[in-house]
Structure 1
């Protein structure tokens, strides 16, 4: 080495920096390759590409381990003389990174640990964890020699309580709290990453359950998980738990799950009393109407427990920030709520899609309102319903109040604004890939039904002009009466001052304002599919 430079040699050790090929990122999910969005800002790279010093090193008996991530060469032994490129001293001092026995032992064991993964998906996850250690220069996360750090003890306790959040970490047990080792370091890191990934929603790809479920929760990277949790000190367990949904609805179900399990300790087949769980009644049913029936009261605690966990899982599909002011439509409840500052500011009955034409489940932003809307008849309704009804006669359809136009030889049908328009007098627009929206209806008598699944997928709203006033917001200058004065004539547009988050949800178990667990019919069968995917049935 040149004079003045730092020595890169440690006693009786030879090593190189191998600039490896780039390996695939981790896949923490069991059912899909996730799109990963880091939840924390990753640290700067350990190794940066700068002007380099060339160095020849001698062989040793071990094999080369390639870097799992771009830009982060991994220090390893090699079995042949190699010419390598090292960054300058200001970027990274390799000798400093491997000077401790702990770091050297960790680097030496990393390759074999990744190779011992039992399946492809677990191997990918281990590669991502290995990349996190490369970023750290092989510094242990959880150990000081043979002693566990306080972070390790905190996350071990949290992992041991994973089932309180409906998670299943049986395949990733945390190591016992005896003396620490390199192998146990890796076991704990793998369990931490698995916990965070499951908590964020990695176990199920919602779009595999149905193409009408638009949710795709972002999943955290292994490095982001380990960096956040490993630096949290005594709060490491809390930071790990925070990968679960932060929503009040999720936390309420978590509490009910704990209560249910406590009751089952006394009697595994305990039936729920109406005073404890209002599972079969909707107090808001109309006078003379059939009360909204949910799951029978004689369901076993095992079934209700599975249903709670399945609904907790669906909370993981929602954005972490639902919006301080927002619209929520819960399909199994046939109800819309406008939430402002954590309280329900408006509630309305809705009509949702039939079982054969389900309302999609997704989140978006409402942007404008249309008064006196046209109804552009979807091709599916035109071909399957209208043409058979009119004997295939487009002229008859036109005579009944529809407009028929032709483009490139194809007929397009739309209904003029008016009291007979299928969308009623007003619709609420949040442009989306499913082409659904909220709207009025001329068939208002259907709101008296308890099971209100009558639409082709859009959501029909009771008292839509009252909803318009609430959505436009106080101080907007658009009270209900002013919006109503626009009725008649051509389409009129009202833009919202700011886009308003809207979440079309599917919860068959929820906790109401009085703290009671409410269960609802699984209208589209999504809850059964979630239970099956999580292995909760049978």
Structure 2
């Protein structure tokens, strides 16, 4: 065992040095590499632990960014440096590496040396600009930060009232539970009038419909079990859900390509952007809770007409072959046969991929495609696949993506009608981002929450405090643009 210490080294650096040397002790080559790596980071580590004194102007800038108020003058330079770096780790999404929490989380921000960035920003007189550029600039992120402030205030005063159990309530009913329903809706910004409080009137029905719509529920204006359950999620739980979504926003690129396709597995929606503007929206069907669609980025390379379906081994073993054993002839009735040692479904109206597939090479083996099961798009929660993303409007998307190649609607329809598998390359590969948003701020400022179908909000919320560098980092710190 070899130990190297230096009283001039900051405590964290010494610990890291010891860990490196302990790891390398069994090999001279590894020891040399470890020492060189440690020496390379020593200046930045020392600068973080013993920063140059902060000027009064810098303290004002930091106080405004971090919401410290007069407290900015109470902290010594080391403590203030730690607070700035804690804040930077949060806003820059550096507290956790997503794939270490869940292997299906393949979206992540680049690793950053924030201590070195802070030192450089101070030296260049750009501290204000550096702090301002840490957080995502997306308007949706800023709106969510502002919403977080409101929900934090609600939690601070004890949350909102619950809706007690009782019968299903609808238009025209008079019940004591109606009064509680009005109070609960109003607490989250869904005003329901102030007439006869115990009467379920048209205003209350409209407010309940609005709540159901933004929460991904069946919009029927009826207080049934699912709606009652959503209303009784506590304000603290909603705040944690907001924090999880804010963290995922920090994993996104600050300047995404203007031309891209985003698939949101939380809201089960796809949006095509051209020049930064949304030009097509559609519903999607995503992976079930047992087979979640991962978060990742990739490139759409081609459109495939009349694709065959090469059945994944797990689906063949666990579903199709047992079905064939129970009902001989089942596979043949579905157009499925053995090809080169694996099951394959021939192109046609019964094909599970429909008549259009979008070629998206990725390590997860999931892709975008049509589906013969159109009725499932009417469901409020659309999580039924084995991980792939089924599109409500694949033909319109194909026409949009193939427009630069000169593809006409007539030519596309003729290609489909021919029944022959055909791969049509895109003129330019299109970036794809598969994201997971379960909280969205509506244009009127009201916040909609989607069901956490994969349990990812809870999983991320549990991981963040463990990765936090101080107790204050267990939730989102204040933003300079929208103080909480």
TM-score by length of 1: 0.65
Aligned match of 2:212 in 277, 280, 285? Answer: 280
* Alpha-carbon distance in structure 1 between the residues aligned to 2:348 and 2:220: 31
1:510 aligned counterpart, secondary structure: strand
Once the two structures are superposed, residues 371-411 of structure 1 have per-residue CA deviations (whole angstroms, 9 ceiling, x without a partner) of 111110000011111110111899873575223134xxxx2
Aligned match of 1:422 in 352, 359, 367? Answer: 352
Paired residues, number: 407
* Alpha-carbon distance in structure 2 between the residues aligned to 1:280 and 1:295: 11
Aligned match of 2:106 in 197, 214, 235? Answer: 214
* Alpha-carbon distance in structure 1 between the residues aligned to 2:14 and 2:82: 13
* Alpha-carbon distance in structure 2 between the residues aligned to 1:237 and 1:362: 32
* Alpha-carbon distance in structure 2 between the residues aligned to 1:112 and 1:532: 29
For 2:413, the equivalent position in structure 1 comes to 484
Q: Would you say the 8 A contact 2:213–2:219 is kept in 1?
A: no
For 2:95, the equivalent position in structure 1 comes to 203
Q: CA deviation at 1:149?
A: 5.1
For 1:191, the equivalent position in structure 2 comes to 83
* Alpha-carbon distance in structure 1 between the residues aligned to 2:255 and 2:72: 36
Q: CA deviation at 1:222?
A: 3.7
* Alpha-carbon distance in structure 2 between the residues aligned to 1:493 and 1:486: 10
2:233 aligned counterpart, secondary structure: coil
CA pair 497-516 structure 1, distance change in 2 beyond 3 A? farther
CA pair 495-421 structure 1, distance change in 2 beyond 3 A? same
Once the two structures are superposed, residues 245-300 of structure 1 have per-residue CA deviations (whole angstroms, 9 ceiling, x without a partner) of 22222111011112333455666447324249955324998998999969723433
Once the two structures are superposed, residues 309-335 of structure 1 have per-residue CA deviations (whole angstroms, 9 ceiling, x without a partner) of 111011122233321121111112121
* Alpha-carbon distance in structure 2 between the residues aligned to 1:425 and 1:289: 37
* Alpha-carbon distance in structure 2 between the residues aligned to 1:470 and 1:353: 25
CA pair 161-457 structure 1, distance change in 2 beyond 3 A? farther
* Alpha-carbon distance in structure 1 between the residues aligned to 2:230 and 2:394: 33
* Alpha-carbon distance in structure 1 between the residues aligned to 2:306 and 2:294: 25
Gaps of 5+ in 2: 20-33, 162-186, 193-206, 466-473, 476-484
1:373 aligned counterpart, secondary structure: coil
Once the two structures are superposed, residues 15-37 of structure 1 have per-residue CA deviations (whole angstroms, 9 ceiling, x without a partner) of xxxxxx9x9xxxxxxxxxxxxxx
Deviates more, 1:459-468 or 1:201-210: 201-210
* Alpha-carbon distance in structure 1 between the residues aligned to 2:390 and 2:455: 21
Q: How does 1:334-345 map to 2 (within 5 A)?
A: 334-345=268-279
CA pair 286-186 structure 1, distance change in 2 beyond 3 A? closer
* Alpha-carbon distance in structure 2 between the residues aligned to 1:208 and 1:327: 26
CA pair 203-176 structure 1, distance change in 2 beyond 3 A? same
CA pair 383-161 structure 1, distance change in 2 beyond 3 A? farther
CA pair 118-404 structure 1, distance change in 2 beyond 3 A? closer
For 1:507, the equivalent position in structure 2 comes to 437
* Alpha-carbon distance in structure 1 between the residues aligned to 2:215 and 2:381: 14
For 1:260, the equivalent position in structure 2 comes to 151
Tell me which of the two structures has the higher relative contact order, counting C-alpha pairs closer than 8 angstroms and 6 or more residues apart.
Answer: 2
For 1:413, the equivalent position in structure 2 comes to 343
Q: CA deviation at 1:353?
A: 1.1
CA pair 340-279 structure 1, distance change in 2 beyond 3 A? farther
Q: Would you say the 8 A contact 1:468–1:480 is kept in 2?
A: no
Once the two structures are superposed, residues 325-349 of structure 1 have per-residue CA deviations (whole angstroms, 9 ceiling, x without a partner) of 2111111212111123443211111
Q: How does 1:171-190 map to 2 (within 5 A)?
A: 177=73, 184-190=76-82
Structure having the higher helix fraction is 2
Once the two structures are superposed, residues 450-474 of structure 1 have per-residue CA deviations (whole angstroms, 9 ceiling, x without a partner) of 221111110111121011122335x
CA pair 294-193 structure 1, distance change in 2 beyond 3 A? farther
* Alpha-carbon distance in structure 1 between the residues aligned to 2:159 and 2:358: 48
Deviates more, 1:411-420 or 1:207-216: 207-216
Q: Would you say the 8 A contact 1:368–1:493 is kept in 2?
A: yes
CA pair 382-118 structure 1, distance change in 2 beyond 3 A? closer
Q: Would you say the 8 A contact 1:332–1:523 is kept in 2?
A: yes
Q: How does 1:94-173 map to 2 (within 5 A)?
A: 110-111=8-9, 114=12, 130-132=42-44, 142-143=52-53, 148=55, 150-160=57-67
Q: CA deviation at 1:151?
A: 2.8
CA pair 395-261 structure 1, distance change in 2 beyond 3 A? closer
Q: Would you say the 8 A contact 1:403–1:415 is kept in 2?
A: yes
For 1:250, the equivalent position in structure 2 comes to 141
Q: CA deviation at 1:521?
A: 0.3
Q: CA deviation at 1:130?
A: 4.3
* Alpha-carbon distance in structure 2 between the residues aligned to 1:502 and 1:351: 16
CA pair 218-175 structure 1, distance change in 2 beyond 3 A? farther
Q: How does 1:226-237 map to 2 (within 5 A)?
A: 226-231=118-123, 233=125, 236-237=127-128
* Alpha-carbon distance in structure 1 between the residues aligned to 2:144 and 2:299: 26
Q: Which has the larger radius of gyration?
A: 1
For the aligned residue pairs, the C-alpha RMSD in angstroms reads 4.1
